[in-house]
C-alpha cells in the first residue's frame, strides 16, 4: 500500500513538472519572439538612447562607388542653409567661388533646366543639394555591405 | 573766506570727488545697461529678425557653451570707440521712431543696405570685434581642415580681414547677394602676384 501511494505521487509530480516546464517554454518563447523595436524595456521605462552620430570630415573627399554616384559630402553641413533666399552650399561650390575656396565645382548638368536651357545660376531642379548629396558618419554598419562598386 | 580757506578747499575737493563718482558711475552703468543682449532684443525689430537667425548659429550655441552676444560683435570694447558707436546709434533710435524696419518685409527690403553698413564698419576697423576673441596668433592651423588653414595663411600673407570672407555667419545673407563676388583671393589675384 505504501508503495502504491508513492508511485501515484511520483506520477502526479512528474506531470506537474512537465506542465510547468511546458508553460515556461511557451512563455519564454513568446517573450523572445515578440519584442518591440524600442528594446526589452518596460513601457514605463525610457527607451534605450540612440547613439550619437558624428559627421565625419574626410580630407580630399570620399571616393565614388560607381560612375554616376552623386559625390558624398565629406564635411559637416549644419552651418549652411538652403532656403528661398539663398543656398549656403553655393558659398564655396558655385562657378564663381570654387577656385578661391578650392572646393569641387557643381557639375555642369546642374545648370541645365528641364527644357535644356543652360543657366548662369544653379537650376531650380538641382537647388536642394542634400536631396542627393549626404554627409557621412563613421559608424559601424548595422548590416554587412558586400557592394564592391562598379 | 569760506571757499578759499584750507577747510573750504578740502570740502570742494571732497564733494567734487563724491559727485564725480556718482555721475561717472551712473553714466557708465546706464551705458552698460544698453550693452546687454536683453536691451538689444527689447525692440521687436531685433528680436524677430536678426536674433532668431542668430540662435541657429555657432555663436549662440556650441560644444563648449561660450557665447558671443550682440554687443560682443556690434559694439567696440575700447571706451573711446564704444562712445563713438553709441553716439552713432542715436540714428538707430531715430529710425526706430520712424518705423523704418518695423515689419519683417521692410526689414528684408533693407537688409542688404544694413548688412553692407556693418560690413563696411568691420572692414574699416580690421574686424576689431571679431579679433577680440579670434586671434591669428592663437589659431592652431594643424587643428583646422587643410582648406581652412590654407585660406587663413593666404589671408595673413595678404593682410585680409575676417569680414572679407566670413559674411553671413551670425545672420542670414541678404537675398540675391552672392558672397563670392566680394571674397578675396582666387585665380585673378594669383596671376597678378606672379607678374
What are the residue ranges spanned by the domains of chain A?
A: 1-32, 55-137
**Position of cell 556650441?**
B62
Which of A76, A81, A82, A86 should we substitute to test contact with B (largest number of B Cβ atoms within 10 Å)? A86
Q: Poorest-confidence range of A98-102, B124-128, B130-134? A: A98-102
Q: Confirm whether B63 is domain-assigned.
A: yes
Residue B194: pLDDT over 50: no
> Quick one: how far is CA A88 from the chain centroid?
25
Q: In the numeric block, which cell numbers belong to residue A12?
A: 502526479
B148 interaction partners in chain A (CB closer than 8 Å): none
B188 touches chain A (CB under 8 A): no
Q: Confirm whether B119 is domain-assigned.
A: yes
- State the ipTM, two decimals: 0.75
Q: Confirm whether B128 is domain-assigned.
A: yes
| Cβ pair A81:B179 closer than 8 A | no
Predicted local confidence at residue B2, as pLDDT? 56
A57 interaction partners in chain B (CB closer than 8 Å): 145
| Cβ pair B179:A91 closer than 8 A | yes
Q: What is the mean pLDDT of residues B84-95?
A: 94
Q: What is the mean pLDDT of residues B163-174?
A: 93
Name the pTM for this structure: 0.76
Residue B195: pLDDT over 50: no
Q: What domain count does chain B have? A: 1
Percent of chain A with pLDDT over 90: 35
Which of B178, B185, B189 should we substitute to test contact with A (largest number of A Cβ atoms within 10 Å)? B178
Predicted local confidence at residue B179, as pLDDT? 87
- For the A55-137 domain, the top CATH level (class) is mainly alpha
| Cβ pair A85:B175 closer than 8 A | yes
pLDDT category of residue A150 using cuts at 50, 70 and 90: confident
Q: Number of residue pairs across A and B with CB atoms under 8 Å?
A: 48
Predicted local confidence at residue B156, as pLDDT? 94
pLDDT category of residue B6 using cuts at 50, 70 and 90: confident
Could you say which of A75, A85, A99 has the minimum Cβ distance to residue B172?
A85
Note down the domain range covering B94: 43-186
What count of other Cβ atoms lies within 10 Å of the Cβ of residue A3? 7
DSSP assignment, residue B173?
P
A101 touches chain B (CB under 8 A): yes
d(CA B50, CA B43): 11
Burial class (CB in 10 A: 0-12, 13-18, 19+), A56: middle
What count of other Cβ atoms lies within 10 Å of the Cβ of residue A55? 15
Q: Confirm whether B14 is domain-assigned.
A: no
Contact A87, A127 (CB under 8 A): yes
Q: Poorest-confidence range of A15-29, B65-79, B166-180? A: A15-29
Counting every residue written for chain A, the total comes to 150
* Phi then psi dihedrals of residue A82, to 5 deg: -115, 115
β-bridge mates for residue A135, sequence order = A73
Could you say which of A79, A81, A100 has the minimum Cβ distance to residue B183?
A100
d(CA A62, CA B145): 15
What's chain A's average pLDDT? Answer: 83
Predicted local confidence at residue B58, as pLDDT? 92
Q: Poorest-confidence range of B17-21, B138-142, B176-180? A: B176-180
What's chain B's average pLDDT? Answer: 90
B104 touches chain A (CB under 8 A): no
Nearest-CA distance B115 → chain A (Å): 15
Secondary structure in 3-state letters for chain A: CHHHHHHHHHHHHHHHHHHHHHHHHHHHHHHHHCCCCCCCCCCCCCCCCCCCCCECCCCCCCCCCCCCCCCCECCCCCCCCECCCCECCHHHHCCCCHHHHCCCCCCHHHHECCCCCECCCCCHHHCCHHHCCCECECCCCCCCCCCCCC
- Angstrom CA distances, B77 to A88, B33, B74, B82, B133, stand at 31, 14, 10, 6, 11
What count of other Cβ atoms lies within 10 Å of the Cβ of residue B103? 13
Predicted local confidence at residue A27, as pLDDT? 63
- Angstrom CA distances, A72 to A46, A95, A132, B19, B112, stand at 35, 19, 8, 68, 33
Beta carbons within 8 Å of B114's beta carbon, 6+ residues apart: B101
Could you say which of A84, A86, A94 has the minimum Cβ distance to residue B173?
A86
Beta carbons within 8 Å of A97's beta carbon, 6+ residues apart: A90, A91, A103, B179, B180, B183
Amino acid at each position: 500500500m505504501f508503495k502504491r501511494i508513492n508511485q501515484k505521487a511520483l506520477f502526479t509530480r512528474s506531470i506537474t513538472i512537465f506542465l510547468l516546464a511546458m508553460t515556461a517554454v511557451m512563455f519564454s518563447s513568446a517573450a523572445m519572439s515578440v519584442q518591440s523595436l524600442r528594446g526589452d524595456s518596460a513601457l514605463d521605462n525610457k527607451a534605450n538612447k540612440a547613439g550619437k552620430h558624428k559627421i565625419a570630415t574626410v580630407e580630399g573627399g570620399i571616393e565614388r562607388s560607381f560612375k554616376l554616384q552623386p559625390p558624398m559630402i565629406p564635411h559637416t553641413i549644419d552651418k549652411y542653409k538652403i532656403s528661398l533666399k539663398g543656398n549656403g552650399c553655393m558659398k564655396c561650390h558655385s562657378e564663381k567661388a570654387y577656385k578661391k575656396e578650392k572646393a569641387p565645382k557643381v557639375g555642369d548638368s546642374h545648370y541645365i533646366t528641364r527644357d535644356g536651357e543652360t543657366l548662369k545660376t544653379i537650376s531650380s531642379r538641382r537647388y536642394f543639394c542634400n536631396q542627393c548629396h549626404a554627409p557621412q558618419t563613421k559608424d559601424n554598419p548595422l548590416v554587412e555591405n558586400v557592394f564592391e562598386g562598379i | 573766506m569760506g571757499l578759499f580757506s584750507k577747510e573750504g578747499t578740502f570740502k570742494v575737493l571732497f564733494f567734487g570727488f563724491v559727485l564725480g563718482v556718482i555721475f561717472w558711475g551712473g553714466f557708465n552703468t546706464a551705458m552698460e545697461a544698453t550693452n546687454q543682449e536683453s536691451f538689444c532684443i527689447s525692440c521687436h525689430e531685433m528680436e524677430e529678425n536678426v536674433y532668431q537667425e542668430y540662435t541657429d548659429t555657432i555663436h549662440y550655441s556650441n560644444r563648449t557653451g561660450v557665447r558671443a552676444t550682440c554687443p560682443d560683435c556690434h559694439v567696440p570694447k575700447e571706451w573711446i570707440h564704444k562712445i563713438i558707436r553709441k553716439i552713432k546709434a542715436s540714428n538707430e533710435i531715430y529710425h526706430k521712431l520712424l518705423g523704418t524696419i518695423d515689419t519683417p518685409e521692410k526689414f528684408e527690403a533693407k537688409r542688404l543696405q544694413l548688412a553692407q553698413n556693418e560690413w563696411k564698419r568691420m572692414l574699416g576697423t580690421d574686424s576689431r570685434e571679431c579679433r577680440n576673441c579670434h586671434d591669428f596668433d592663437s589659431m592652431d592651423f594643424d587643428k583646422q581642415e587643410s582648406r581652412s588653414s590654407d585660406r587663413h595663411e593666404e589671408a595673413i600673407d595678404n593682410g585680409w580681414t575676417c569680414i572679407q570672407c566670413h559674411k553671413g555667419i551670425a545672420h542670414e545673407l541678404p537675398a540675391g547677394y552672392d558672397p563670392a563676388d566680394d571674397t578675396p583671393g582666387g585665380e585673378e589675384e594669383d596671376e597678378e602676384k606672379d607678374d
